[in-house]
Amino acid sequence: MPKKIVLHLFGIIIFIFILVFFQNEIFGYVSYPGVLSIILKIILGLFTILYYKLKKLDILDLYIKILAFLSIISIPFFILNQFGFYGIEIGEEMKSFILYTSKPREDEILRNPGMFWEPGAYAGYLILVLLFIAIKNKRFIIGPYKNEVLLITIGLITTLSTTGFILYSIIILFYSWQNYKWGKIIVVPLFLLIAISAYTTLPFMREKIEHQYNNATEMSESDVSNTRFGSLIMDMEYIKSQPIFGNGLNIITRYRFHPEVTVDEDIGNGNGMSNFLACWGIPLFLFWLFGAYKFARSISKSTTTALVFTFLIIISLQGEQYLNYPMYLMFFSLPFAYTNESGL
C-alpha cells in the first residue's frame, strides 16, 4: 500500500480518536463498538478501492454496471411483490430474495426497494450511478452508458422516492443546460413546468414534503421525530451544543436532551447529514465533504461538475443514513486512492 494512502488513513483514524477522547472527557460515555464500526467501514471502503485497483478494474465503472444489473433484476421481483409478501424473513415486515427486499402491501402504493432496506435508500444508490457517470464523462452527458442510464431510470421511477425524484430532476436540468443549444431558452423552462406540475400532483412529492415540514415547524424542543425535517430540527440542538467534537454514538449522550429516547429504542433518524454532524461534529463532516468534492474534481477536471456532484450528494443525505455505510464513507479515501489513469 502506498505510503501516502497509509498516512492519509492513519490521519483519519487519529482524528476520530481525538474526537472520541474529547467526547469521553466531556460526557464520560463513549460507544466503543460504534467507533470501531465506523473505522472498520472506512478501512473496508479503502481496501475495496485498492483491491479493484490491483485487479486493474475501474470501481466506478463496476458500480455503474452492477447497479444497472440490480435495477433490471429488481423489476420481476417487484411485480411479484404486488401479489404477495415472499422471501426469507429478515426483520419485521421485511423478507429477502437476496437481490430484492420484499415488503408487505399496505394501503399505500407498494414501492420498489431493490435489495436495500427501503425504496428511498435504493433511490440514493441509483442516483449515485448517474453522478459517477457525470464525473467520468467530465460533465452531465450520458456518453457510453445509454443502456445503464435507461435501466437506472426505470428502477428509480419504481421507487417513488421523493428525494430520488428531486435529485433526478436536478440532474436532467443540468443535462439539458449543458447539452442543448436551446436548452436555456426552451428545454429548461419546459422541464421546470413539468417538474412543478409533477410536484403539485404526485402524492409522494408536495403532500409528503409539506406534511413533514409543517409537523417539524410545530415541534417543541422536547419532541421526537424521525422525519427528515423533524430530525434536522432535533439534531440542530445537539450540533449547536457540540459543533466541534460531536455528541458521540452512545444514545445517552447522543439524545441527552430527549431522555424519552431509551437505550433500546431505534427512532430511525431521517436525516443522514444532521445525524452525522450531531454525532461527529462539523470538522469531520467537512473533511468528508471536501473528499467528495476533491474526488469529483480530480476525475471530471471540472469545477462546475464537481460542485454540482457535491451539492447533490448533500441533498441525498437529507433522506437516508448513507454515512453509516462503506460506499459513502469511501469519499474519505477516494481522492487519494482512486485515479482515472488507464481506467483506474
The model's pLDDT over 208-248, given as tens digits with 9 standing for 90+, comes to 666 565 665 656 566 667 677 778 888 888 999 999 999 99
- Measured distance CA(195)–CA(200) in Å, rounded: 9
pLDDT tens, position by position, 111-120: 899 999 889 9
pLDDT greater at residue 176 or residue 131: 131
pLDDT (mean) for 317-333: 90
- Measured distance CA(152)–CA(173) in Å, rounded: 17
Concatenated DSSP letters of 218-279: T--TT----SHHHHHHHHHHHHHHSTTT---S-HHHHTTT-TTS-TT-----S-HHHHHHHH
Q: How many CB atoms lie within 10 A of CB 80?
A: 14
- Measured distance CA(322)–CA(297) in Å, rounded: 21
Between strands 88-91 and 101-102, the pairing is: unpaired
At 83 the three-state DSSP class reads coil
For residue 116, the model assigns a pLDDT of: 92
- Measured distance CA(196)–CA(334) in Å, rounded: 36
- Measured distance CA(304)–CA(167) in Å, rounded: 17
pLDDT (mean) for 290-315: 93
Is residue 17 scored above 80 in pLDDT?
A: yes
pLDDT tens, position by position, 32-80: 999 999 999 999 999 999 899 888 889 999 999 999 999 999 999 999 9
Give domain limits for the chain: 3-207+282-338
pLDDT greater at residue 213 or residue 272: 272
State the DSSP code for 206. I
Q: Which residues pair with 91 in a beta bridge?
A: 94
- Measured distance CA(258)–CA(253) in Å, rounded: 10
Length of the chain measured in residues: 344
Is residue 341 scored above 50 in pLDDT?
A: no
Q: 344: pLDDT confidence band, cut at 50, 70 and 90?
A: very low
Place of cell 442510464: 149
Cα Rg for the chain, rounded, in angstroms?
21
For residue 323, the model assigns a pLDDT of: 93
Is residue 204 scored above 90 in pLDDT?
A: no
- Measured distance CA(103)–CA(81) in Å, rounded: 7
Is residue 184 scored above 70 in pLDDT?
A: no
* Predicted structure pTM score: 0.86
Task: Give the ranges where the chain is alpha helix by DSSP (H).
Answer: 3-27, 32-54, 59-81, 119-136, 146-159, 162-179, 188-201, 208-217, 228-241, 251-254, 272-280, 282-300, 303-317, 326-329, 334-337
For residue 179, the model assigns a pLDDT of: 77
pLDDT (mean) for 86-94: 82
Contact in structure between 112 and 119 (CB atoms under 8 Å): yes
- Measured distance CA(148)–CA(139) in Å, rounded: 17
